[in-house]
A = this chain, B = another copy of it.
Amino acid sequence: MSELRVAVVLYAGMTTLDAAGPIDVLRFLPDAVLDLVSDAPGPVRTDSGLELVATTAYDDCPRPDVVVVPGGPGTAEALGSPLIGWLQQVHPTTRWTTSVCSGSLLLAHAGLLAGAPAASHFGVLDLLPQLGSARSDQRVVVDEEHHVMTAAGVSSGIDMALALAERLSDTTTAQAIQLVIEYDPQPPHDTGALEKASPDVVRRAVELGRPQGAIPEFWEPPAR
């Protein structure tokens, strides 16, 4: 069997969990080979301060089968980086080009979404139309036509990666990976989406998330 080259993009100010979810799902796919791609090999500082080490420069990863683009406060700066040109170059031959969180802004800016709706973190969802895409409130958006998959904020990358694993292999394999990582979610509360959180919780989320760039300055809670 031939390799399945999975390229996970790393850039300064990204969020670790956006990448870690897909990595620890997709690596169990048969014949998966992981490349951690960035401007150059070496450590990349995430928004928590944790550094992840890139193995491969964009130029040395010309034909990935799967691309995963994480999000995070670093997305704004990444919009002007060599990542965009690389995405444009490799996307035509990927099986799936995917994003988590604000990573979909990078796919949109690269012109890969072709006006189709995409998911993103709720804090930046309204930027998608300005980048030639459209907003979707779904947790995972599968766009078969453009072989693009986008996910909502941070933790949704796990759900996306399981959907992706199923399409790259089969249902039993995806279910087996879910078991290996014991993904049987039991959050203590049910406030993980904007429409499920009380105004107090939303206010507190802004207080905690804004200083770390997880919720942008311009974002205002929707009136209700």
Question: With A16-B20, A28-B209 in contact, do A187 and B183 touch (Cβ < 8 Å)?
Answer: yes
Q: How far is the CB of A66 from chain B (nearest CB, A)?
A: 14
Inter-subunit contact A159/B187 (CB<8 Å): yes
Partner of A187, one of B49, B162, B172: B162
Q: How far is the CB of A221 from chain B (nearest CB, A)?
A: 11
Interface centre among A17, A19, A30, A159 (most CB of B within 10 A): A17
CB-CB nearest in chain B for A119: B182
For this chain, the copies found in one complex come to: 2
CA distance A198 to B173 in the complex (A): 12
CB-CB nearest in chain B for A180: B209
Q: How far is the CB of A143 from chain B (nearest CB, A)?
A: 16
| Chain A interfacial residues counted at CB < 8 A | 74
Asked if A121 is at the interface (CB within 8 A of a chain B CB), the reply is yes
Inter-subunit contact B185/A204 (CB<8 Å): no
- Chain B residues whose CB sits within 8 angstroms of the CB of A212 once the complex forms: 27-28
Asked if A154 is at the interface (CB within 8 A of a chain B CB), the reply is yes
Q: How far is the CB of A165 from chain B (nearest CB, A)?
A: 9
Task: Report, nearest first, the 5 A-B pairs whose CB atoms are least far apart.
Answer: A153-B182, A184-B192, A20-B20, A185-B185, A176-B204
Q: List 21 A-B contacts (CB under 8 A).
A: A17-B24, A34-B49, A51-B53, A140-B186, A154-B180, A154-B182, A156-B182, A159-B187, A163-B188, A174-B188, A176-B204, A176-B209, A179-B197, A179-B201, A180-B205, A180-B208, A180-B214, A181-B192, A182-B192, A183-B192, A184-B192
